[in-house]
Structure 1
Amino acid sequence: MTILTMAGMLAAAGAGLLAASMHAGAAGVVYASGGIGVEERAVLESARSEFNLRMTFASKGSGEYRADVNVEIRAIQAPGNPVVLKADNTGPLFYASLPPGRYEVKAQSGGQQQARHVVLPQRGALQAYFYWSD
């Protein structure tokens, strides 16, 4: 097997992993979640530039990644603060592509909920870290 053939196979495997990790929420918001294994994390990281909200979920102290996080995102600049994305059992990496604006992000894991207001810029991205007690 040549190096080119192997590279092609790895690229195809990575694309399959990324496709399996990508979803569209009810409001049409595209998001990707995963990163439990090294390979899956590398595939998600390679696509991170496509998403303007990038979140990482972990435990306080140990820094151990968490993959049991329920996420809800509301557009707080819109009348009625509608939910634009709701996803269960996500993480430890969670990337979303949202229009620029103000949002409330709620993340729940192990019965503990955190809420944050985030502002997504016209250009660039926002990285947010959520930590829970063990």
Structure 2
Amino acid sequence: MKITFIDAGVLVTAARGVEEISEKAFEILTDSEREFASSEFVKLEVLPKAVYNRQIAEAEFYETFFSSVTYWASDLERIVQDAYHIACQFGLAAVDALHVAAALSVGAEELVTTEKSTKPMHRVTSIRVISIFD
């Protein structure tokens, strides 16, 4: 089994299901060869807005995903410290650096994102970054 950290954008894309790319996101989320990793940062990115806007089906989709997560990045203080160094080294935005650091903290082999391959997240060399747009 491959440990895969899923970026918030992938979850949103799969949950809303409005474009062809949603199918690719959903394929990754239903791949039986993967075990999923996540963090409270991802949860914070996707759930509150769906709950606030009373998008019940979307919120339930996220909850179903989070209940299937095997690896939770839990050492938040260490993740924030590592994210700072990753952001400085590769020029990442704060949340992207947090996702990379969280993925690394649980030993994820890959991070799946909606960030296009021209974005700074793809400069990171310590984990395989995969864009669903490529």
Common fold, TM-score beyond 0.5? no
Using CA pairs below 8 Å that are at least 6 residues apart, which structure has the higher relative contact order? Answer: 2
TM normalised by structure 1 equals 0.26
TM normalised by structure 2 equals 0.26
Q: Could you say which structure has the higher strand fraction?
A: 1
Q: Could you say which structure has the higher helix fraction?
A: 2
